[in-house]
Chain A
Amino acid sequence: MRIRVRFSKTGKIRFSSHRDMARCWERALRRAELPVAITEGFSPRPKMHFGLALSTGHESLGEYLDIDLQEPEASALDLGALPERLTPFLPPGVDVEAVSIIERSELSLQEAVTVCTWLIEIPGVTPEELAAYVTTMLDAPALPVTRERKGKTVTDDIRPGIISLRVVGATPLDAPEQGALLEAELATQPRSVRPSELLAAFDPPRNEGRVCRTHQWIITDGARREPIPAHATSRAPAEVGAR
């Protein structure tokens, strides 16, 4: 049986890397004594399939993980109780919110998810200034960015990867520096656009403050859905964590 887990990663735990989180998950599943299927062969590993890596420092309200469970133990599991069962074994700030069974034929998370929604704090701008930026960017025919990749300088156009931009308002009052909040929908395929790249394409470039991935989207035949249907949510979504 393959299950898909949705969890949030908010607060201080955002400074832990994707790889460290993967190891936390392995330990948590063992501590919770979940009947995780194990790979055969010389170096047996639990069968876990992680979704798109979240940059260290970014928060998320919608992270996903697929886990293969062993039969017959899996059939006896109470899936509805799994979020409550797993969360205590994970670091504070990682909360399991929903679990659903998925077909093995389903595309992997990394293939299936094509768009992410981000909430990005941009310090030092007012919502009005940000609105002007957004208009300029959306009107631009191309937004070339250069980056170092394997020692070579590569220039890409990120404009096709920007699906939508929306000014949400001013940053919360407890933000270390006043600024504006931007909601951005960015593509992950064919080339993933990172929030920092988006801000680097501003004129003049801007640095990101707090960044949170709020949704991941699977698009089939023009219709978008989240990797776990909304009705499977068994917990209220967490607030973006304390600073």
Chain B
Amino acid sequence: MFSLDTHRPAAAFDLIGFNLSAELTYTNLLNMVDLAGVPVRSAERRPEHPIIVAGGHCTYNPEPIADFLDIVVLGDGEEVITEINAVVRDWKLSGRTEGSRENVLRELSHIVGVYVPSMYDVTYEGAALVAVTPRYPDVPERVEKRTVADLAEFPYPKTQLVPITEVVHDRLNVEVFRGCTRGCRFCQAGMITRPVRERPAEQVRTMVEEGLRRTGYDEVALTSLSTADFSGIEKLVGDIVQSTDDGPPVSVSLPSLRVDAFGVGIATQIQRARRTGLTFAPEAGTWRMRQVINKLIREEDLYSAVEAAYANGWRRMKLYFLTGLPTETDEDTLGIAELARNCVQLGKAHTKSPSVTVSVGGFVPKPFTPFQWFGQNTVEELRRKINLLRDDTRKSHGVQVKWHDPKATLVEGIMSRGDRRVGAAIEEVWRQGGTFQEWNERFDLDLWLAAMANHGLDPEWYTYRHRTEDEVLPWDHLSAGLHKDFLWQDWRDALAEVGLPDCRWTPCYDCGACTGYSIEHIVASATPPAGGSQGTGQDLGSSVPVTLLGRAPVGTGS
């Protein structure tokens, strides 16, 4: 293990950081720490070893990997990295004496956003988790996430690393905004990254222009959780396409497309060549189900998007769905097939053999979402639903169904909401050779079940069980800024099939993400994006009740 840029041995660094975005990569984390020549357990590390730190969405419940990490960062890294470095620098200057490792970890726990698992005691009563409490009075009882108030203050490094070996997403990535308040209840990213903070359009343009020039990439992705929602996105995209017109060809891509004709319009504007396929994520098959999950797309929105896509020369559509959602009935599952068939039907007016691929993932409840209390579907139930869908589409010409392995969904569920006891099983799976569990050909459920059993852990207790309001959750001592009663109310609203509008353009419902940290949404336009607000059906009128204008308006709107 060595660094990409200087080929320095990993263990020669002061800190080694991991970005964790998928639970099944945990055994690879252990493997990499081990390959670096560092003990995998935090307790066994000595002063000369690097500090092992992790961040990313998975670390909002870091308990299953708490024994392997020295520190965990919650939220945005921009500011906190400097603060961590300062503490580690002082430690280094002091000579990293025998026994000093615990002191530096304790000091790091004073930084807001930094969670040091070894500074906390975990108590259980039987199977139940009772409390996670700090071992010292100066260690915070609850660790708050870090939120950068203004992305404009943090342009990306001008001279970024460009890997020589081809990697996934091998392109210039420019983050146009962070956070999303669409409020999809299954979506952890949308909950934990609030509020919405847009980057000024001018800075985006500069970052794209300079980035392309310095890296030599011929592709740039404008990234965010829903890029079509960026204020003035049409003008921004137009400007970027125009500015690259006289140089070598550059392709601009939007990693996530909103399900409406507006989104397709933008995709068409930028992708002038090679029009092959488009991906939409309606997530659920019926309007009822979509109200439960608060993905408020009407069927008309999807059809207008698909119609626009076919009319603009796209030929293949991919639709993403979740199954195993709360209150899901077979009617909801079969609704997925119905939507897909209708999309194929629309395509027939434009092409001889339209093709719609339906991709179905098993739903895993995530911490800090309204669905964190929900008992996930069993492997058998998920398999039954997938078979239902397969049978129903068998004779539907043009509809292909693909699905995520329900067995992997189970293991993801164990780690998504697991507590510190699960760590022993993760270590055992790794010791038994269970690396690269994200890969179908390497995933091995038996390894996981055996490891869980060996440590007296019940997979079903961790995954299939509904939680009650008063249950202590393994991440209750951490905070993503969201009030727990907001999440509970949203969970009740979900069960009552009540949708919740996007708070960027409607009054605040006090989820806690802004008010708790005295920050605000930073959006350049106080009007919702053109093309409706993703089918919320809200008549927002001309006066939008927000006072969240962060900076001078640019682009369309206001």
Contact = CB atoms under 8 A, between A and B. Distances in A.
Interface string A59-96: 00000000000000000000000000000010100000
A46 interface: yes
A191 interface: no
A13 B166 CA distance: 14
A208 interface: no
B164 A91 contact: yes
Interface in A7-56: 12-13, 16-17, 19-20, 23-24, 26-31, 36, 38, 42-44, 46
Interface in B197-227: 212-218
Given A12-B7, A16-B165, A29-B216, 18 more contacts: A13-B164, A16-B164, A19-B166, A20-B166, A24-B164, A26-B216, A27-B162, A27-B217, A28-B216, A30-B212, A30-B216, A30-B248, A31-B213, A38-B248, A42-B273, A42-B274, A43-B273, A91-B164
Contacts of A43: 273-274
B249 interface: yes
What's the interface size class on A, roughly?
Answer: 20 to 34
Contacts of A42: 273-274
Contacts of B215: 27, 31
A60 to B, nearest CB: 16
Contact of B216 (A16, A20, A44, A89): A89
Given A30-B218, A43-B273, A38 B164 contact: no
Which of B165, B212, B216, B274 has the most chain A CB atoms closer than 10 A to its own CB?
A: B216
Contacts of A28: 216
Contacts of A19: 166
Contacts of B273: 42-44
A61 to B, nearest CB: 20
Nearest to A30: B216
A36 B249 CA distance: 11
B274 A31 contact: no
A27 to B, nearest CB: 3
Q: Which 7 A-B pairs have the closest CB atoms?
A: A27-B216, A31-B216, A30-B216, A44-B249, A42-B273, A43-B274, A16-B164
Which of A12, A24, A91 has the most chain B CB atoms closer than 10 A to its own CB?
A: A24
A21 to B, nearest CB: 8
Chain A interface, >50% SS class: helix
A30 B162 CA distance: 14
Contact of A31 (B7, B164, B214, B249): B214
Contact of A20 (B164, B214, B218, B249): B164
Interface string A205-238: 0000000000000000000000000000000000
Which of A26, A29, A31 has the most chain B CB atoms closer than 10 A to its own CB?
A: A31
Chain B interface, >50% SS class: loop
11 contacts: A13-B164, A20-B166, A26-B218, A27-B215, A28-B216, A30-B217, A31-B215, A31-B216, A38-B248, A46-B248, A89-B216
Contacts of B274: 42-43
B251 to A, nearest CB: 9
A171 to B, nearest CB: 24
A28 B162 CA distance: 11
Contacts of B7: 12
A16 B164 CA distance: 7
Contacts of B216: 26-31, 89
A17 B273 CA distance: 28
Nearest to B275: A42
Given A31-B216, A42-B273, A23 B248 contact: no
Which of A23, A24, A46 has the most chain B CB atoms closer than 10 A to its own CB?
A: A23
Given A12-B7, A31-B213, A44-B273, A23 B166 contact: yes
Interface string B308-348: 00000000000000000000000000000000000000000
A178 to B, nearest CB: 26
Interface in B274-293: 274
B59 to A, nearest CB: 32
A24 B218 CA distance: 12
Interface in A177-203: none
A42 B166 CA distance: 23
Contacts of A30: 212, 216-218, 248
A29 B248 CA distance: 10
Nearest to B162: A27
A34 to B, nearest CB: 9
A74 B213 CA distance: 20
Contacts of A23: 166
Interface in B243-257: 248-249
Nearest to A16: B164
Nearest to A89: B216
Contacts of B162: 27
Nearest to B163: A20
A24 B166 CA distance: 10
Contacts of B249: 38, 44
Interface in B135-168: 162, 164-166
